[in-house]
Amino acid sequence: MTKYSLGSLVREGLFGHKRWSPAWRDAAPKAAYDAVVIGGGGHGCATAYYLAKKHGLSNIAIVEKGWIGGGNAGRNTTIIRSNYLYDESAAIYDHAMQLWKGLGRELNFNIMMSHRGVLNLAHDDGEVRQLKRRVEANRLNGVDAEWLDAAQVKEVCPIINISADIRYPVLGATLQRSGGVNRHDAVVWGYARKADEMGVDIIQNCEVTGIKTEGGAVVGIETTRGEIRTPKVASVAAGHTSVIAKMVDLRLPIESHPLQALVSEPIKPVNPCVIMSNAVHAYCSQSDKGELVIGAGIDHQISYTQRGGFDVIEETIGAIVEMFPIFSRLRLMRQWGGIVDVCPDASPIISKTPVKGFYVNGGWGTGGWKATPGSGHVFADLIANDEPNVIAAPFAIERFCSGKLVAEHGAAAVAH
Ligand code: FAD
Ligand code: PYC
């Protein structure tokens, strides 16, 4: 019998709580930093972590208007995959996928990474053709992908209804076996704890209200807790990217929409994988606690309210019950929304701007969670070197002028 009880381990801080939690809660803004990251979501905390770890920049701050992980990072359904169509997307999402694989160990935090496989369903001939093409494109990029017919889908996910006479019959699916889910708050805390250990200030309850420039270059920010001087400001404020960009008179082609999700009461394990259907606006996985985690397509109205309409959820639940009749009598426990910012090509912006020292990372739309480590990694590179690396370069804002878009609506896998 060990001499340590679980309680004593927590009290002694052996799980790390004592060291990291109060530090960021108490961080007061300093007068000046070498760089400031706006937004303490997954991407913001990852950016700060890689700035400190890879580039030795630790006189930096994350400024968060609420609490870290309270935005989309804490509201998303944690689906991880990299099966996008174009080379540019495969490069960034698969970069993230490789980082996810070792992230729990790197951060010394259990992020509950589960590579349980992601199915993307096809319900008509057009989708079959489109998804088969994507499997081939994925393989050419070294991304694991398989095409399954309906019977093979049922082998992977025995509870799915593959009858031919339902409104949207399942004709087949792509399967990315390395795809899966993880624990969102743990990822944010893991990055934040490590960043904090390296000297990064995490300033919560501090809203950025303005960005100060002189001669076309950033010199500082205005916040609800006073002014901070800095030559570099990095916006990672998902859902509010265009609001922050407007502070330097930059107009971005981004729309903000609610995206909703919900969970059922917990049940015994019945769903071994993640199943997504773009056509019926629904997807589903099962958490380790047993809750079914269900998501919808975006709400079409533009909004910052962090909640959506019940009509969207009603449609999603109708589709889920048709695909999984076994769920029809379950009760729902919680429903919520986040605000996602969507670019016209359903791909993100990772970019320098015409304002020297102002960098933007946003527009990840419905699918940025899976990118978190890759996004933070390449954005930190851009901020430190003032140049995008080869992975980030295709996502610069110049593409909206040149027309070289990375059109990923199909692979976004969530109805827009
Ligand atoms: P956030 O966590 O939103 O971080 C941005 C932060 O900026 C917020 O904390 C906010 O408070 C802060 N901020 C904003 N304005 C200011 C200001 N003026 N001053 C200071 N701070 C500010 N993606 C997937 O890949 N897989 C999924 O399964 C998935 N499911 C989703 C389900 C839902 C319901 C939602 C809403 C999103 C989902 N997404 C998914 C998308 C994903 O969550 C986002 O693309 C991603 O999390 C965005 O990055 P982030 O985590 O840094 O954003
Ligand atoms: O991009 O895989 C995704 C996703 C799942 C749920 C929301 N987005």
Question: DSSP assignment of 331-387, as one string?
Answer: PEEEEEEEEEEE-TTS--EEEE-SSBTEEEEE-BGGG-GGGHHHHHHHHHHHHHHSS
Indicate whether residue 316 lines ligand 2 (CB < 6 A).
no
Amino acid 9: pLDDT: 41
CA 235, CA 254: separation in Å to the nearest integer? 14
- How far, in Å, from the CA of 198 to the mean position of ligand 2? 32
Q: 363 near 399, Cβ under 8 Å?
A: no
Amino acid 23: pLDDT: 52
Amino acid 413: pLDDT: 84
The CATH superfamily of 6-75+185-254+345-402 is FAD/NAD(P)-binding domain (3.50.50.60)
Ligand 2 mutation pick, 278, 283, 320, 340, max ligand atoms within 8 A of CB: 283
- How far, in Å, from the CA of 75 to the mean position of ligand 1? 7
Query: Helix 42-55 to helix 184-197 angle, to the nearest 10 degrees?
Result: 30
pLDDT, mean of each 10-residue run, the chain (416 residues): 42 43 68 97 98 97 97 98 98 98 98 98 97 98 98 98 96 98 97 97 97 98 97 98 98 97 98 96 96 96 92 94 96 96 97 98 98 98 98 98 96 86
Residue 334: how many other CB atoms lie within 10 Å: 9
- How far, in Å, from the CA of 132 to the mean position of ligand 1? 30
Amino acid 11: pLDDT: 42
Rg, Å, the chain Cα set: 21
| CA nearest neighbour of 161 among 18, 153, 174 | 153
Indicate whether residue 263 lines ligand 1 (CB < 6 A).
no
Say how far residue 412 (Cα) sits from the centre of its chain. 12
Amino acid 20: pLDDT: 46
Q: 240 near 257, Cβ under 8 Å?
A: no
| Topology match between the domains 6-75+185-254+345-402 and 118-177+255-342 | no
Query: Which secondary-structure segment (H or E) carries 102?
Result: helix 87-107
Amino acid 390: pLDDT: 98
- How far, in Å, from the CA of 171 to the mean position of ligand 1? 33
- What does pTM read for this prediction? 0.95
Q: What are phi and psi of 228, to 5 degrees?
A: -130, 130
pLDDT digits (tens, 9 = 90+) for 35-91: 999 999 999 999 999 999 999 999 999 999 999 999 999 999 999 999 999 999 999
CA 32, CA 136: separation in Å to the nearest integer? 50
Domains in the chain: boundaries: 6-75+185-254+345-402, 118-177+255-342
Atom of ligand 2 nearest to the CA of 412: 1
CA 93, CA 82: separation in Å to the nearest integer? 5
CB neighbour list of residue 122: distance below 8 Å, 6 or more residues apart: 128, 130, 131, 170, 171, 172, 173, 174
- How far, in Å, from the CA of 26 to the mean position of ligand 1? 23
Amino acid 415: pLDDT: 78
Tell me yes or no: is domain 118-177+255-342 CATH 3.30.9.10. Answer: yes
